[in-house]
Structure 1
Amino acid sequence: MSPSPLNSVKQSKVALGSYTCDLHHVENLLEHSGLHSSRSGNTHRVCESSGSIIIKCKDLCVLQLDIPGMEECLNIANSIEALSSLDEVTTLYPFYYRPSYLSLQDPWALSSPEQDFGDITVLTDRWRLSQVNRDYGVCPSYPPAVIVPVSVDDKLLVKAARFRQGGRFPVLCYYHRPNGKVIMRSSQPLQGANRKRCREDERLLQAVIESSSLGYIIDTRSAPLAQQARMTGGGFESKANYSPWRRLHRHLDKGKVLQESLTKLVEACSDQSHSMDRWLSRLEASRWLSHVQSALAAVGLLVECVEREGCSVLVHGSEGTDTTLLLTTMAQLILEPRCRTLPGFLRLLEREWVLGGHPFQLRHTHSGHSHARLRQEAPVFLLLLDCVWQVQRQFPLALDFGETLLLHLAQEVYASNFGTFLCNSDRERCTLGVKERTHCLFRYLLRPKEKDKYTNPLYQPTDLVIWPSVQPQCLQLWQGLFFRWIHNNKHLEEAREEIQSLAAQSRRLGCRLSMSQLEGWRWSRAVPRIG
C-alpha cells in the first residue's frame, strides 16, 4: 500500500482517530536521480531523492508510504510521529469528533451502579448502595456508588479500604439469581511482613457469606508471588483471620510478560517466510494461547465455585484492575444469559472495565508491534476479547453478537473516535470532562444502523450455563484478529453478508435460521466456515 503524500498527511491525522499508529522507521529508497521503468514500459525520471515510511499501526496493520522527495518524506514522518504521541488526553481526537448523527446531549453511559442495584433489590434485601466514594476520596479507581452488604456501614468501608491496595475494598459485581451467591472483587490486603490484620475487612467479608459455611477467595497470583508481595507491603487473607474463606491460587500473567507474549505472536504472524515447523515453534514460544488457556481455566474454577459448589467468591490479584476484571467478566458471560446479548455484553464491559477502574490509557499506549519496555503496558483487555472469541467459537448459538464486534472493540481500545476507553478511571474522566465533551462508544454501537453489523444471526437464547473447554485441541489462534491484514478476508466477508441476508429472510418468513440450513448453504457454495 503506497498512498500519495496527500493521503499520507490524512493518515497522520487519523493517528488521533481509528488508526493511531507507532512510527516504526524511515528509510531512503533512492539517494540520487535516475531513470525508472514502470510496469507499463514507460520510462520517466524520478526525483533526486525519495523515501519510504513504514507505519506499524496499533490495529496490527502495516502501511508503507512511498514519498518522492526526502525532505517531504521526513516532514510527513515527523508529523505522524508528533500526532501519534500526544501526552495530553484532551488533545486526542475524541474531543474533536463531532458526527452529525450524534449529540453531546445524548446519555453517555448504558448503565450505572444505581440501575444494577435496582435489579438486585427485586431479588434480595441483603445488599445496599453505598455513596461512600461519592467524591472518589475512599478509592480513586472506583465509581461514586458501590454495592455492599446491608449490614456494613460506611465507616467500616472506609477502614476496610485503608487495608486494601489502592483503596479497592471488596464490592459486589454479580448476583447469581438461581442460588443467591455472589461474586465480589477487590485488590490485595496490605498485610505486609508483620501480618497486620483489619477486623473491619474481616467483618465485611463475613457479612458477604453470613450463615454460609464456606466462601472462596481466588487469587490471580501464584502462592509464591503472593508470599513475596508481603515483603513490599501486600499479601493475602490468612486462614486464621478469614476462617470461613478458602483461598485458591490461579496464576495469570500480566504486565511485561503478557506484552512480550503479544509482541512475539504478532512478529510470528507477520513473518510469512518460515516453514510449518518454524511457525508452530514460534506460535508456541509466544505462549499467547497458554495465557488464553490459563484465563479460561481460572474462569472455569470461578464458575464452578458459584454454580456447582453454591459458594460466594472474592476475586483479586494485586491491584485488582486487570486479571481480576478478566475473571469476573468472563464468569458473568458464562453464568448470566443477559450478559450474552449485545446490550448486556456492552453493559458488562462498561460496569467491569470502564467503571471498574481498568487503566486503559496506561495499558494501551502501544500494541503488539512495539518493543518499548514500558512497565504499565499489558494487553489484558485484548486477552479478554480473545477469551470471548473462544467461547463464541465453541458455542456459535449462545451469544447475541459476533466476531465483528470483538474485532471492532479490539481496534477501539487502542485508538477510537469515542471517549469510552480514555483515561485510567472514572475519576479521571470526570476531571477532564470526558463524558460531557466526547461521545460514548457503546451508545453508538447500539444505534439501529450499527447494531445490525454486530449481531449474530444464529443467536438462540438459553438460560443454561455454558462451559467452554480449555483442552489445547479446543483452543485456536484468533485468525480474524492476528491475520486480519495478512490474509484476504473477502470470502469471509461475503459469507457473513450472505448469512445476514439468510437470517433476515428467515425473520420475514417467521422462522429461525438453523445450523443445518447454514451447513447446507455453506457446502452448496463451497464457502469456508466462519471462525
Structure 2
Amino acid sequence: MEFSEHIKTANVEDVVLRRPFHPPTKGTLCVTGHHLIFSNRGGDSALELLLRNIDAIEKRPSASSGTITLKCKDLRVLQLDIPGMEECLNVASSIEFLSSLETVSEMYPFFYRPPGLSLQDQWGLSSTEQRYTQMKEISSNRPVQRVRWRLSHVNRDYAVCPSYPPDVIVPHSVDDETLAKVARFRQGGRFPVLCYYHRKTDTVIMRSSQPLTGANKKRCKEDELLLQAVIDGSELGYIIDTRSNQQAQQARMTGGGFESKSFYKGWKRLHRQLDKGKVLQESLTKLVEACGDHSHSVDRWLSKLENSKWLSHVQTALSTAGLLAECVERDGHSVLVHGSEGTDMTLLVSSLAQLILDPGSRTLAGFLGLLEKEWVQAGHPFHQRCTHSAYSHVRLRHEAPVFVLLLDCVWQLARQFPLAMGFSEPLLLRLAKEVYASEYGTFLCNSDQERCVTGVKERTHCLFRFLLRPGERQRYFNPLYEPNELAIWPSVQPPSLELWKGLFLQWTDDALHLVEAQEMIQNLVNRCRWDLGDEVENPDG
C-alpha cells in the first residue's frame, strides 16, 4: 500500500500543540505513513508519535480553523489547534485511517531499522528446547533418576494446535499419537503442556484449555492418561479452573466443560472466577475515566475508582496465583490451570505463580523470558486483545487488557517486595506502552504460527533482546535488587493493594515528582556502588 495516497495534507504550519507537562508550542505538523511529527519554531522535533498509539480522535472544526484532540493508548491526551478548517479535516481523516491499519506487514515494525541492531540477530530469548535442557539439568540432581518429561515436536507444523509453539514439554510416557488425540478433545487443540518445573518439590505447573465434554459428558481416555502421567502415582493433583463452577457447568451446554472427578482420579478441581473480555475492558475504561476526572471531590473520585472494579480484578488474579503457588510449594502437588480457551487468564495466573515461586523469573532477563514463554510463544492473541485501549469509541468483541492486568499485578508484587525484583517500574511502563503500539515485532499477531506466516521474526526486531542490551538493561534494572531464593507471598487484602499511579496517573503533575524520585534513587545507589567498587555492568549477575 502507498501510504501517501491516504495523506491528504502532509504539512501544516502554525499549529499549536498542547500536551502534559509542557506549555503550548507553535510549530509545524507533519503526517507520515506511521508517525505524527511536530517541530517547533526552532526546527527541533518536539513530538514524534506513532500513529498506532492513537486510540481515539475528536475533531472540532470551525470556519477558519479547527482543533483535534488525540487520546492515546498510553493514556496521554494531546490537542492540536490547526489553522484552516480544510487542513484540520484532512489531517484528522489521515490520522483516522493510518492509525487503524489492520494488515500486519504494513505496520511500523516492518519498516523500523534501529542503529546497532541487525535482522540477522537471534529474534527471541530462548526456545522450548533450551528450557527443556535446563530443566533436565535441574531434575537430574533428584534422587530418582527416571526421566519423567520429554520434548515433543508433535506441533512442528502447527497442525495439532495453531496457537502453540512447534515444541512442547509433556510426560515422557505419552507419545505423539496420544497427544494428537488429546488435542482434539481440548478447545483450540490446547492440550496440557508443562510450563514450570518446581525443583524443591519435584512438581509442575501445566496449562491447557477446557476439555470438550459437552452436554453428554464425553470422555477421552488419552486425556485422562496424560493427566495421570503428570501426577505419576502421587496421591493428588489440583486443577484450577479460572471460571466459577456455574460458568463451567454452562460451558457444557455449548460443547465445553470440565474434568469429571469420576474419570480423573487423583485430581481435585478448584474453581476461581476471573473476569475477562468485555468485563475487563469496561473496567479499564471506567478506571481511566476516573483518573481523568479533575473534580476536587475526593468522595467522587473514590466512588469512581471503586465502581471500576479494577483493583478487584488485581486482587482476584493475585489470590488465584497465590493459591496455585501454595499447592505447588507448600502442599507439594502438581497443578493444571485452565479456563475456556486457555489463552488469557490461564497465562495470567501461571505467570504470576512463577514469579511468586521462581527467583529466576524475578531477574530482568528472567522476567522477559517468562513473558516470552508464557505470553508470546504460548499464544496470547495480542492483536485481538490490544487493538484499542481505554479511550476508543469502537469496541471489538475480542478486546481485553489482560496483559495490562498482568503488569499491574507484577507492579503490586514489586511494591510489596521492593528488593525481590531485578527490574524496576519503568520496565513495566515501557511494556504497557509497547503492547499497544511498538517499533518492535514482539507483540504483533496472535500466535507463533501467525508470526511465521507474516515473517515477523525475519523482518522485524525483537523488543526483549533490545531491552537486554547493556544501555537499556541499566535503565530498567532495580538498583535495590537483592536476590532472594525464597517464594514471595503477596498480601491480597484491600489495604495492601494500591492504584498503579505510575501508569494510570502518569500524565498528571504528581507523576513528575515520582519520576524525579526514581532518578534520584537510581543515581544515589549507583554512586554508592561506584564508591564501594561494585561495578554494575551485569545487573542480573
Tell me the TM-score normalized by structure 2.
Answer: 0.89
**Partner residue of 1:141 out of 163, 185, 192:** 163
Query: How far 1:8 sits from its partner (Å)?
Result: 5.3
Query: What are the Cα deviations for residues 383-409 of structure 1, in whole angstroms up to 9, with x where unaligned?
Result: 000000000000000000010000000
Query: How far 1:13 sits from its partner (Å)?
Result: 1.5
Query: How large is the RMSD of aligned CA atoms in angstroms?
Result: 1.6
- Give 2:109's aligned residue: 94
CA distance in 1, matches of 2:163, 2:76: 33
- Give 2:322's aligned residue: 300
The aligned length equals 495
CA distance in 2, matches of 1:252, 1:490: 34
Q: Is the 8 A contact 2:190 2:208 kept in 1?
A: yes
Query: How far 1:308 sits from its partner (Å)?
Result: 0.7
- Give 2:58's aligned residue: 25
* Residue identity opposite 2:53 in structure 1: T
Query: How far 1:501 sits from its partner (Å)?
Result: 1.7
- Give 1:414's aligned residue: 436
- The answer to whether residue 200 in structure 2 is matched with residue 156 in structure 1 is no
CA distance in 1, matches of 2:317, 2:534: 34
- Give 2:92's aligned residue: 77
Counterparts of 1:98-117 in structure 2, within 5 Å, are 98-117=113-132
3-state SS in 2 of match to 1:7: strand
3-state SS in 1 of match to 2:360: helix
Query: How far 1:6 sits from its partner (Å)?
Result: 3.1
**Partner residue of 2:498 out of 450, 470, 476:** 476
Query: How far 1:271 sits from its partner (Å)?
Result: 1.2
- Give 1:383's aligned residue: 405
Query: How far 1:101 sits from its partner (Å)?
Result: 1.5
- Give 1:120's aligned residue: 135
Between the aligned residues of both structures, percent identity stands at: 67
Query: How far 1:489 sits from its partner (Å)?
Result: 2.9
CA distance in 2, matches of 1:493, 1:378: 28
Query: What are the Cα deviations for residues 258-302 of structure 1, in whole angstroms up to 9, with x where unaligned?
Result: 000000000111111151111111000000000000101101110
CA distance in 1, matches of 2:52, 2:469: 22
- Give 1:492's aligned residue: 514
Query: How far 1:424 sits from its partner (Å)?
Result: 0.1
3-state SS in 1 of match to 2:31: helix
Query: How far 1:12 sits from its partner (Å)?
Result: 6.3
CA distance in 2, matches of 1:3, 1:223: 57
- Give 1:212's aligned residue: 234
Q: Is the 8 A contact 2:151 2:169 kept in 1?
A: yes
CA distance in 1, matches of 2:49, 2:242: 34
- The answer to whether residue 535 in structure 2 is matched with residue 506 in structure 1 is no
* Residue identity opposite 2:184 in structure 1: R
**Partner residue of 1:64 out of 69, 79, 85:** 79
Q: Is the 8 A contact 2:34 2:107 kept in 1?
A: no
Counterparts of 1:304-315 in structure 2, within 5 Å, are 304-315=326-337
Query: How far 1:136 sits from its partner (Å)?
Result: 0.1
Query: What are the Cα deviations for residues 61-102 of structure 1, in whole angstroms up to 9, with x where unaligned?
Result: 111110000000111101111110101000000000011221
- The answer to whether residue 144 in structure 2 is matched with residue 130 in structure 1 is no
Query: What are the Cα deviations for residues 216-262 of structure 1, in whole angstroms up to 9, with x where unaligned?
Result: 00000000000000010000000000021000000000000000000
Query: How far 1:24 sits from its partner (Å)?
Result: 2.5
Counterparts of 1:73-472 in structure 2, within 5 Å, are 73-122=88-137, 123-124=139-140, 125-472=147-494
Query: How far 1:371 sits from its partner (Å)?
Result: 3.5
CA distance in 2, matches of 1:483, 1:396: 21
CA distance in 2, matches of 1:455, 1:59: 22
* Residue identity opposite 2:54 in structure 1: C
- Give 1:52's aligned residue: 67
CA distance in 2, matches of 1:295, 1:394: 16
Q: Is the 8 A contact 1:18 1:411 kept in 2?
A: no
Q: Is the 8 A contact 2:288 2:504 kept in 1?
A: yes
CA distance in 2, matches of 1:511, 1:101: 30
CA distance in 2, matches of 1:113, 1:305: 25
Query: What stretches of structure 1 of length at least 5 have no aligned partner?
Result: 32-48, 514-531
Q: Is the 8 A contact 1:12 1:80 kept in 2?
A: no
Query: How far 1:505 sits from its partner (Å)?
Result: 1.9
Query: What are the Cα deviations for residues 361-390 of structure 1, in whole angstroms up to 9, with x where unaligned?
Result: 000000011242311001000000000000
CA distance in 2, matches of 1:149, 1:119: 16
3-state SS in 2 of match to 1:391: helix
Query: How far 1:59 sits from its partner (Å)?
Result: 0.6
Q: Is the 8 A contact 1:168 1:187 kept in 2?
A: yes
Query: How far 1:507 sits from its partner (Å)?
Result: 2.0
Q: Measured at CA, do residues 264 and 468 of structure 1 come closer, stay the same or move farther in structure 2, by a change above 3 Å?
A: same
* Residue identity opposite 1:254 in structure 2: K
* Residue identity opposite 2:59 in structure 1: V
Query: What are the Cα deviations for residues 13-68 of structure 1, in whole angstroms up to 9, with x where unaligned?
Result: 2598486212332113x43xxxxxxxxxxxxxxxxx10000111111111111000
Deviates more, 1:463-472 or 1:497-506: 497-506
CA distance in 2, matches of 1:380, 1:3: 37
Query: How far 1:502 sits from its partner (Å)?
Result: 1.8
Query: How far 1:494 sits from its partner (Å)?
Result: 2.3
CA distance in 2, matches of 1:510, 1:183: 42
Q: Is the 8 A contact 2:56 2:391 kept in 1?
A: no
Q: Is the 8 A contact 1:160 1:200 kept in 2?
A: yes
- Give 2:538's aligned residue: none
Q: Is the 8 A contact 1:109 1:440 kept in 2?
A: yes
CA distance in 2, matches of 1:488, 1:65: 24
Q: Measured at CA, do residues 319 and 5 of structure 1 come closer, stay the same or move farther in structure 2, by a change above 3 Å?
A: farther
Moved over 6 A (4+): none
Tell me the TM-score normalized by structure 1.
Answer: 0.91
Q: Is the 8 A contact 1:18 1:416 kept in 2?
A: no
* Residue identity opposite 2:187 in structure 1: Q
Q: Is the 8 A contact 1:16 1:93 kept in 2?
A: no
Query: How far 1:454 sits from its partner (Å)?
Result: 0.5
Query: How far 1:121 sits from its partner (Å)?
Result: 1.0
CA distance in 1, matches of 2:212, 2:533: 57
Query: How far 1:422 sits from its partner (Å)?
Result: 0.1
CA distance in 2, matches of 1:307, 1:279: 40
Q: Is the 8 A contact 2:51 2:99 kept in 1?
A: no
* Residue identity opposite 1:67 in structure 2: I
Query: How far 1:5 sits from its partner (Å)?
Result: 6.8
Q: Measured at CA, do residues 3 and 19 of structure 1 come closer, stay the same or move farther in structure 2, by a change above 3 Å?
A: farther
- Give 2:5's aligned residue: none
CA distance in 1, matches of 2:398, 2:233: 41
3-state SS in 2 of match to 1:489: helix
CA distance in 2, matches of 1:335, 1:238: 29
Query: How far 1:511 sits from its partner (Å)?
Result: 7.2
* Residue identity opposite 2:136 in structure 1: T
